[in-house]
Amino acid sequence: MELDWKNLGFGYMPTDYNVRCYYRNGKWGELEVHSSQKIDIHIAATCLHYGQESFEGMKAYMGKDGQIRIFRWKDNAARMRSSAKGIKLAEVPDEIFHSAIVKAISLNKQFVPPHGTGASLYIRPLLLGTGPEIGVKPSKEYVFMVFVMPVGPYFKEGFKPVDMMVCRDFDRAAPLGTGNIKVGGNYAASMLSIEVAHNKGFATALYLDAREKKYIDEAGPANFFGIKNNTYITPDSPSVLPSITNKCLQELAKDMGLKVERRKIPIEELEELEEAGACGTAAIISPIGKIADPASNKIYTISKDGKPGKVSEQLYKRLIAIQYGDEVDKFGWTEIVS
Ligand code: PLP
Ligand code: COI
């Protein structure tokens, strides 16, 4: 496959095959391989009416050694089960999750971007309530699907600072709502505010805690972290998604001799941050340049020279070195797909 690997954006692209598994009569069936990009779905499926669906985001990386690596898949599988518990979906066992992603990668090997291009194969596991219900109740039938596509950076700037806008007029998720699980409704709830931020020239929206509007929650598609006094700081909030990338960065920060604090971050503290970034599978690390808070007429300039901070850069380099197999993975995060 010849693609312009170095200039890929983050967008949908068809690949050859997707993998599906159906849940009927209280149990999961066998994995199926499909080449159609469409699904045949009941008009009364619960995913369509009541948002009974969950998805995950993962990546596969081509190493210099020609081996394809996946990253912390067990954490994604566990998070999807936590999402399933939260909105009453059938839970996908590890074995099915793992075989489906490995099969989807293997069947679409030609789409795994070559080492050194900075691109990777994005993996999208998706779990839908497919049974017909018209009252608000969980479906009795589900489909779990995995499809893949080659991607570049989520923010077109790549590893360069982007500006974000605090959206006080919107909440992405409520403290006792679904922000801590990965369900479609959270993203539907974020679209208008992200569009508002885009229209004002910002890369995405940054949300505050919904209860008090005092503390930083997270960005539209990624967690938030800051660096100050040799400390990695990230919000402790019931409404942010427990990011696997963020968990890795906390471990890497400790390994690099930084302190790690998971705590509430008052918005005014942005003034004191030496560096800040958004982190996630798609975003990897997106350094943050400025954060505007139009409601209080404030602009917090985090990157004074328009460049990523030193600590963010070290974290970024180590994370991708492990993911692409360039650095020994002493944490046991990667698995080679045979
Ligand atoms: N926060 C939100 C809202 C996300 O959509 C994502 C992406 O999955 C993340 C954070 C980052 O999570 P992870 O690092 O597990 O990809
Ligand atoms: C990811 O980082 O994988 C995500 O799911 C974020 C996004 C594309 C919504």
Residue nearest to atom 4 of ligand 2 (CA): 57
pLDDT interval class at 2 (50, 70, 90)? confident
Active-site residue identified among 59, 103, 182, 290: 182
Secondary structure class of 157 (helix, strand, coil) = coil
Inform me whether the pLDDT recorded for 25 exceeds 90.
yes
DSSP 200-256: TT-SEEEEEPTTTS-BEEEETTBEEEEEETTEEEEE--TTS---HHHHHHHHHHHHT
Kindly state if the Cβ of 179 falls inside 6 Å of ligand 1.
no
For 130-170, the pLDDT digits (tens) are: 999 999 999 999 999 999 999 998 988 889 999 999 999 99
**Residue 156's pLDDT is what?**
86
162-323 placed in CATH 3.30.360.10: no
| pLDDT tens-digit series, residues 59-103 | 999 999 999 999 999 999 999 999 999 999 999 999 999 999 999
pLDDT at position 178, please?
98
Assign a CATH topology to domain 5-151.
Answer: D-amino Acid Aminotransferase; Chain A, domain 1 (3.30.470)
Q: Would residue 74 show up in a list of annotated catalytic residues for this protein?
A: no
**pLDDT (mean) for 250-275:** 98
Nearest of 75, 114, 82 to residue 331 by alpha carbon? 75
122/119 Cα distance (integer angstroms): 9
Residue 243 beta carbon below 6 angstroms from any ligand 1 atom: yes
Structure confidence at residue 278 (pLDDT): 97
State the average pLDDT for the chain: 97
- Find the 159 Cα to ligand 2 centroid distance in Å: 17
Dump pLDDT digits (tens) for 230-240.
Answer: 999 999 999 99
169-182 confidence digits (pLDDT tens): 999 999 999 999 99
% of the chain exceeding 90 in pLDDT: 97
Give the percent of the chain with pLDDT over 70: 100
Which pLDDT tens digit goes with each residue over 105-139? 999 999 999 999 999 999 999 999 999 999 999 99
What does the domain layout of the chain look like in residue ranges? 5-151, 162-323
Q: Is the CB of 286 under 6 A from ligand 1?
A: no
Q: What is the pLDDT of residue 338?
A: 79
